[in-house]
Structures are given as C-alpha cells and as structure tokens.
A and B are shown apart, each in its own frame.
Chain A
Amino acid sequence: MQQSACTLKNVKKVFGSIVANNNVNLDIRRGEILSLLGENGSGKTTLMNILSGIYFPDEGEIFVNGEQVTIRSPKDAFDLGIGMIHQHFKLVDVFTAAENVVLGLEEKTRFDLKKVAAKIGEICDKYGFHVDPYQKVYNMSVSEKQTLEIVKVLYRGADILILDEPTAVLTPQETEKLFSVIRNMKKHGKAVVIITHKLHEVLSVSDRVAILRKGEYIGTVNTAEATELSLTEMMVGKKVELNIDRPLPVNPQKRISVSGLNCKNSEGLPVLTDVSFDAFGGEILGIAGISGCGQKELLEAIAGLQPCEEGSKIEFIAPEDETPVSLLGLSPKRISQLGVSLSFVPEDRLGMGLVGSMGMTENMMLKDYSVGHSIFTHTKEPHDLAERIREELGVVTPGLSTPVRKLSGGNVQKVLVGREIAAAPKVLMTAYAVRGLDINTSYTIYHLLNEQKAKGVAVIYVGEDLDVLLALCDRILVLAQGKVTGIVDARKTTKEEVGLLMTGKGGDK
C-alpha cells in the first residue's frame, strides 16, 4: 500500500447554477499514476483546478500529507508541492524557457538566469528529457512546450503532478515518450494524476482510475481489473456501443479533385507542397498528420480561404453534372454555394465559425446572413434550426440566447458541427470535429458523419486520434510537413504505418 499524498473529501464546486463538482472523494498516492476519467463537462479539470488553487471549493476538505489544508491560490498549491500542467499551456510566448520556469518564484538569491538554466539541466538529466533553457517559447513545438511545463513544476519541487489531457496534441511517438517520463517520475516517488478520455491510454499508463460523471464522483478502480467497456459504462452511466459503423461506400463518385497544390504562408514558406488527391462522394476521407502540417491550409485552400500558387488545380464535380468546375479563383461565398462546406474546430474552439458573445440562434444566422432582402432579420428559421440541433445533439445550454462562450467546450463544438451539417453540403470538411469531446458526444458526431456519407456527401475528416481515423474513414491521406506521404486504405493499414507516415519517414516505402 503506497503512502497517500493528497486526499479530497466531499469537494463541491458550483458555477452559477451549474454544479461542476459534487461530493468528490479522491485519494492520490505516491509512486502511483492515477487517471481521472470522465466525459466533457464532468468536472475533471475543475476538480484539478481546485487542487492547484485556480478555483476555490465551495464545500469539502483537502488533506495533503495527512494534514488538512486550505488552497487559496496557485502559490499555496506550489508551497504544498502540487504542480499542474494545464491543457492549454500556461507559458508566456515571448519569454525564454528559463524565464518561464522562474516566473513568480520568490527566491531570496540574486536573479540569475544562468543558475536557473543549470538547474533545468539537472532536472532534465534526472528524468530523461531535453529542454533548451534559452529557447523562446514561441519557437517551440507543442511537445517541447509540454516538456517545459513539466520542468516548470518539477523546478518548483512539486511531488504531486497533475497533467490535464497531456496527449491531446501529441503524436503516438511523442505520447510514448511522455509516458516513459511519467513512469520515471513514478519511480522517483512522485504522485501523478492524468486527466484524459482516451481509454487505451488510461489502461496502458495508470495504476488506478477515478471516474467522474456530470460532476459526481462515481468511483475508483484498479486499472488491472478494468476494461475499456467497463470504464466507459462507469463514465457514461449506460451501456454504449464502442464500435464505429463503417458501411462500404455506395456508388462512389469523384467529387473533389486536387492536383499539384502548392501554398505558401504569410512568411513565404511553403506549407503545402505538390498535394494531389481525389475525394469521392459517399466516402469518408481521413487526413492524418501532426498538428500544423498543412491540414488547415489544405481545407482552407479548397474552401477558397487560402491563396494557392500558380499551377495548382482544385476541381469540383457536381453530382448531377459531369463537367468539373475549377474552384480556384472563386470567392469563398461562391464555393460554399456550390455545396462545399468547411467546419474547422480550432484549439480554442471559438476562433473560427462562432461568435462567443452571441447565442445559438444568432450563430445560426451568421451562415445565411445574406438570405432575404428585408432590412430586418429573420429569426424564425435560425431559431428552429438552433432548437433542432439542441435536441438532436443534446446541447446543454440554459437557453438558445445564452452566449455560446458560456457553454462547455463540447457543447460549443456540437453547435458548430451541427450548423455545418445542417447546411446540407455536397462536400463536408471537418477538422478536429471531436477535439476534446467525450466518448458519447464523439460517437454522436461520427454517427452524423456516417449519415452524411450515406447520403452521398464527400466527407473529409481531419482528425487527431489515429484509432478513430482507422475505424471511421474509408481512406486516410497522411500529411507530413505539407507533403502527402501516403494515401492508405483505412481497412487494411495499421496505426504504426500511419504513425510512421506522419513523421515523414515511411514516405519512400
């Protein structure tokens, strides 16, 4: 039996009328990895924010090393040895790694960044990772930033580490590396908590799993005794079908044809190099790649939002009409009138497509603002559409006029994806449609995509989770640094093959 590092008793936290945590009991032990599992909005992050001093609990008790404590601020949390690695990195972009590490520390010694750099080097050696103390954060990759976050909490002498969805933005290889670091920390007697909703990760890395459902604490089980199905049932509260349907494409017709596509970013560097592929109606084409490898630019180029280089070719073939129409040079509005729809879910979810301070109804209206000629707005249809999306997708919101910014991430995404699908497109492009969504909602969205596929729509799905890409798509196009490294049949390929293609190494096979 390991020593208990931190215990939560009957913790409750309320935001306005929403109960984010209720009666949560948690036991975090040294030399152990605990997974915190739950759907979106089940209060995992809120709970950990309470531990790290960002939020203050309304009720309940917290014990650290057997003593009851009050954590009023992040500083209190540090003093108790609790360090949190947030899902959205808490780093200052224009600072160097070392500057970020010492931020907020009240050391009595003279301010000397060289000493800090030396100590960072020591920590890196101990746990086996690499950080350049003088590198600016804005030059770092996602995984480097995450490593820096871990160094930051270790530098502060944390021995209870909380990682909030650490693998959401990592490739399978980077994830494996992260897990080995975490196992290393476990060996050194640290207590580690991982928040995630990827079940296979829970099973592979953790010792025990604590499950939350809609803010309520469900229970803690030993990972060795759990299976994917049993965990899902605890999480969702009912039996769920974990298999994604994948009907064979019916009568696939060429819908989009891209060849020799080249794009440059605003700094003049190539982001897409010689991309060629076809997308068929009635088929789901997956696009895999490490984030920032040109997925966004590819979709934007098709939607007319990204200028393309000379010689690029993008053609659209309407189902009723065999003659290809070139999409290059058409305005985004014209392209979307042809039936090419793009729903891009950026990391912050609100960045593209929705206006945070507007309600659901008004956000529905954004898409067809130009319909009708009256100077007054038509609210009836958007209102009905909003109502329908709310019911069909189960959007949890106090009302249709509540600003979407106030909804939880998953619900915001449902609104966005729901609206795009409702536009009845002929080509539906979605990027990160299930980013950060829980299992139940994700499956609702996969189901919606399959419905579109059955209707003969060409679906292009940019995803992060390889397991899902492999289970949902018919074909997978892999991008690495703006180049197509392969188009594989999703029914025959393996995760390893796709992972290798993503790093650009498998390209010559």
Chain B
Amino acid sequence: MTLASFISWFTGAFVFGIVIMLGCVGETLTEKSGNLNLGVPGIMYLGGISSLSAVFMTQLRVREMIAEAAAVFVEAGNRAQEWVPETGLLKFLTQPVTSAITVKGAEASYRVFFDFNGWIGVVIAIVAALIGAAFGGLIYSFLTVTLRANQNVTGLTLTIFGSGVANFFGGSLNKLAGGVGQISVATTSTAFRTSFPWISTAFGKVSELLFNYGFFSYIAIVIAIIAHIYLNKTRHGLNLRAVGENPATADAAGINVTKYKYLATCIGAAISGLGGLYFVMDYIKGTWANDGSIESLGWLAVALVIFTKWKPINAIWGAFVFGLCYWVYLYMPQGVSEILAELFGVQKISHLQSLYKMLPYIVTIIVLIITSLRKKRENQPPQSLGLSYFREDR
C-alpha cells in the first residue's frame, strides 16, 4: 500500500468515524438513562435535514428579500420618472434607474452577505440540527416515559418517521433548487470544512493525517470527552447512570427519574442529530441524497454503542476502527481480494464490497461475544435498559 492510499484510507475513516461517533455518543447518553432509543437513524436524518433546509431556506429567503428590495427600488425609480414630469418640479433630479443594474447590485450584495458569512450558515445549521433532533428525542421520551409505550417499537417507528420526513423534505428541496443534485449550500459547507489555520499544514504528513479536517470534527471529539467526564466524574452523571441501572433505586434516592430520562434522551438525540448535520454539511458537502445512507450510518452508530461498551471515550477510537473497516474494500490489496473472491465464489471483485461492509458489524458481534464471556459487570448495558418505569407499579 502506498503512503498516498494509506492517507486517503485514514482520512476517509476519520471523517466517516466522526458521523457515527456523534450518533454513538448521543445514543450512549440516552441509553444511560435506560431508554433504548432505536430511532438513532431517524434522529440523524432529522438533524441532517433540519440543518440543510434551514440553511437552504435562509439563503433562498435572503435572495428573495434582496430581489424584492431591488424591485422596490426599481419601481421607485420608474415612478420617479413618471411622477416628476407631472409636478414639473424635479426634472433635473434623476437619471432613470435601470432595473438591470439594480438586480446586479442585489446579486452582488447577496453574495457579499453569504460569501463573507458562511459562518452565519454554520450557526443556523447547528441550531436547526439541535432543535430538529431534540424534537425527535422529545417525541420518543413522551411516548416511552410519559405514556410508557414499548421502547423498541417506538424507536423503530421513529427511524421510519425520521427517514420519511427527511426524504420528503429533501425531495422538495431538490425540486425548489431545480432538480436532483442541484441543492447547494456551498458557502456554509465550505465554512464547515474549514480546518484550523497553521496546525493543519505545519507538520507535513502528520498534519494531513490528524489536523486537516473541518473544525466541527474536533468539536465532535470534544463533545465525546465532555460526555465521558459528565458520566464518570460528576454528581449528575452518577445520578443519570443510576436511573439507567435501577430507576426504583434512583427514585428512592430522591432523583427525579422522569426529568433525567427526558433530558438525557433529548440532549442525546440532539448530539446524535449533529452526526446527521456533519454528514450533510461536511461528508457530502452540503447536498442531499435520497439513498438511505444516513440510515445505515445510524445503525452503525447503534452498533458502536455496544462496541464501546457504553463508554463515550471509547467511541473516539471505536468510530475510527469502524471507519477503517468500512472503507477497507477500497484499499484491499488485489491479491487478497482475488483469494476472497475465489473463496466466496464471487464473479467480480467489486462485488466483494458488500462483504467488506459487513466488517463493522462482525467486529461488534465479536466484541459482544468477548464481553459476554468475560462477564464483567461494568461492561454490561445499563441494567434496566429498555424497561419503562412507573413508581407505583406493584
């Protein structure tokens, strides 16, 4: 393997990893409260589509507003022309304003607004993703905590709901933009992919491997670290874990179980939603594809929660390992692929791709087997994961 292809494998895995890492950290928080939210794919969809449509609609609206302003300006100019001769007073005042110049001016000011302010788009995108995804978490908590609906069913439904909503609006956006693949929030996406200055180039190949990613990648890693500290070093983290382990105990200890479950689920969903945001804005560069790719990433995020043994700190390297596994088919030496193709009776080597893509799941299963064999209590899922809690239940 050449160095160039290693670097491209490494960076591909890194960016891929950030998406599922965010999904995983959010889901870990949620599961620590005892809520098994299988709606992660749907929530990541919600986060992605919320950010994309918010930025896109803002762009559209700003463009419209400037065009409207220009139109008003043009009309005012025209009216001045008509009006002036009637009064006979202001004849010397104006040169007729041509609409062409004004519209050009508006276009220019629009570009100035957005070219220099891709960061406005970043803020809009993040806020929208957080709200959209947290809304998914809110639906889930309302159904499972307040109404005590079955968690598995609710989660799966949420996945279907999220992907439906997202693909519906994704399709509409495509239409508004004038066809599939025409959506572009390039300025915002470029802002998202801005890496930190100096360090991203200072150390040659090392910088290329580690420091040359969009700034949001590093925010994501910081989120994972904060989640780790929160869960293990703070009073509230301890309480949250107690809620997921044994809500009756937590309740008897004076912890507001409902509040913790709601907050952990909504905040967890918001973090998972940032994975969708990262996917749309950084990974596929501010476009939309109705190909279900977010969904498969969402399931990988769920698998990653198991792989990391419910510890956000493990998600940082675990996600990267998943990324390496996921992309390994592009970088597999020809010889190995040929042997495998022979082994599985595959006609074309490119068909092996699907087999390679199973790797993250196989790794997860192996981890599950190992942790089950070792039977260490700390590596088990929260004890009351998937169960609803009712204080006066007998």
Contact = CB atoms under 8 A, between A and B. Distances in A.
Interface of A: 15, 52, 54-55, 73-75, 77-78, 84, 86, 90-95, 99, 102-107, 111, 136, 138, 152, 267, 406, 408
Nearest to A16: B394
B378 A94 contact: yes
Nearest to A73: B254
Contacts of A90: 246, 248-249, 252-253
Contact of B238 (A73, A91, A102): A102
B251 A74 contact: yes
Residue from B249, B251, B252, B377 whose CB has the most chain A CB atoms within 10 Å: B252
B254 A78 contact: yes
A75 B259 CA distance: 14
A438 B248 CA distance: 25
A143 B251 CA distance: 23
Nearest to B239: A104
A148 to B, nearest CB: 12
B351 interface: no
A84 B246 CA distance: 17
B368 to A, nearest CB: 18
Interface residues of B, number: 26
A74 B391 CA distance: 11
Interface string B148-177: 000000000000000000000000000000
A55 B246 contact: no
A111 B235 contact: yes
B391 A54 contact: yes
Contacts of B391: 54-55
B67 interface: no
9 contacts: A54-B252, A54-B391, A74-B252, A74-B253, A93-B246, A103-B239, A103-B249, A103-B250, A104-B250
A90 B255 CA distance: 13
Interface in B210-235: 233-235
B242 interface: yes
The 8 closest A-B pairs by CB, nearest first: A75-B254, A104-B253, A90-B249, A104-B255, A104-B254, A90-B252, A103-B253, A92-B245
A95 B242 contact: yes
Contact of B235 (A86, A102, A136): A102
Contacts of B234: 111
B86 interface: no
Nearest to B252: A90
Interface in B354-394: 375, 377-378, 380, 383, 391-392, 394
B394 A84 contact: no
Nearest to A138: B377
Contacts of B256: 73
A406 B394 CA distance: 7
A152 B242 CA distance: 15
Residue from A15, A84, A104 whose CB has the most chain B CB atoms within 10 Å: A104
B233 A104 contact: no
B394 A94 contact: no
A408 B253 CA distance: 25
Given A93-B377, A111-B234, A104 B242 contact: yes
A160 to B, nearest CB: 15
Interface of B: 233-235, 238-239, 241-242, 245-246, 248-256, 375, 377-378, 380, 383, 391-392, 394
Contacts of A52: 252
A19 B254 CA distance: 26
B254 A94 contact: no
Residue from B238, B245, B253, B394 whose CB has the most chain A CB atoms within 10 Å: B253
Contacts of A267: 375
Nearest to B380: A94
A202 B111 CA distance: 85
B252 A94 contact: no
A92 B378 contact: no
Residue from B235, B248, B256, B377 whose CB has the most chain A CB atoms within 10 Å: B235
A86 B253 CA distance: 12
Given A92-B242, A93-B245, A111-B233, A103 B255 contact: yes
A47 to B, nearest CB: 14
Given A104-B239, A104-B250, 4 more contacts: A54-B252, A90-B246, A90-B248, A92-B241
A40 to B, nearest CB: 13
Nearest to A83: B252
Residue from A15, A106, A408 whose CB has the most chain B CB atoms within 10 Å: A106
Contacts of A92: 241-242, 245-246, 249-250
B31 to A, nearest CB: 14
A54 B245 CA distance: 18
A347 B380 CA distance: 23
Given A103-B238, A111-B235, A74 B248 contact: no
A325 to B, nearest CB: 36
A36 B251 CA distance: 24
Contact of B251 (A54, A93, A105, A408): A54
A36 to B, nearest CB: 18
A94 B375 CA distance: 12
A406 B253 CA distance: 25
Contacts of B250: 92, 103-104
A91 B383 CA distance: 12
B321 to A, nearest CB: 25
B383 A99 contact: no
Nearest to B253: A104
A95 B245 contact: yes
Contact of B252 (A15, A84, A136, A138): A84
A105 B235 contact: yes
A55 B392 contact: yes
A94 B242 CA distance: 9
Contacts of A74: 251-254
Contacts of A94: 245, 377-378, 380, 383
Contacts of B251: 54, 74
Contacts of B242: 92, 95, 103-104
Residue from B245, B249, B251, B391 whose CB has the most chain A CB atoms within 10 Å: B249
A136 B377 contact: yes
B241 to A, nearest CB: 8
A95 B246 CA distance: 11
A90 B253 CA distance: 8
A93 B251 CA distance: 15
A449 to B, nearest CB: 28
Contacts of B383: 93-94
Nearest to A88: B248
A18 to B, nearest CB: 9
Contacts of A86: 252
B245 A15 contact: no
A293 B282 CA distance: 60
Contacts of B238: 95, 99, 102-103, 111
A15 B65 CA distance: 62
Nearest to A76: B254
B310 to A, nearest CB: 11
Nearest to B237: A111
B67 to A, nearest CB: 56
A105 B242 CA distance: 12
Nearest to A107: B235
B387 to A, nearest CB: 13
A77 B252 CA distance: 10
Contacts of B246: 90-93
B71 to A, nearest CB: 60
A138 B380 CA distance: 13
A102 B378 CA distance: 19
Nearest to B375: A267
A114 to B, nearest CB: 13
A315 to B, nearest CB: 35
Contacts of A138: 377
A308 to B, nearest CB: 22
A136 B251 CA distance: 20
A313 to B, nearest CB: 31
A208 to B, nearest CB: 26
Nearest to A77: B254
A132 to B, nearest CB: 17
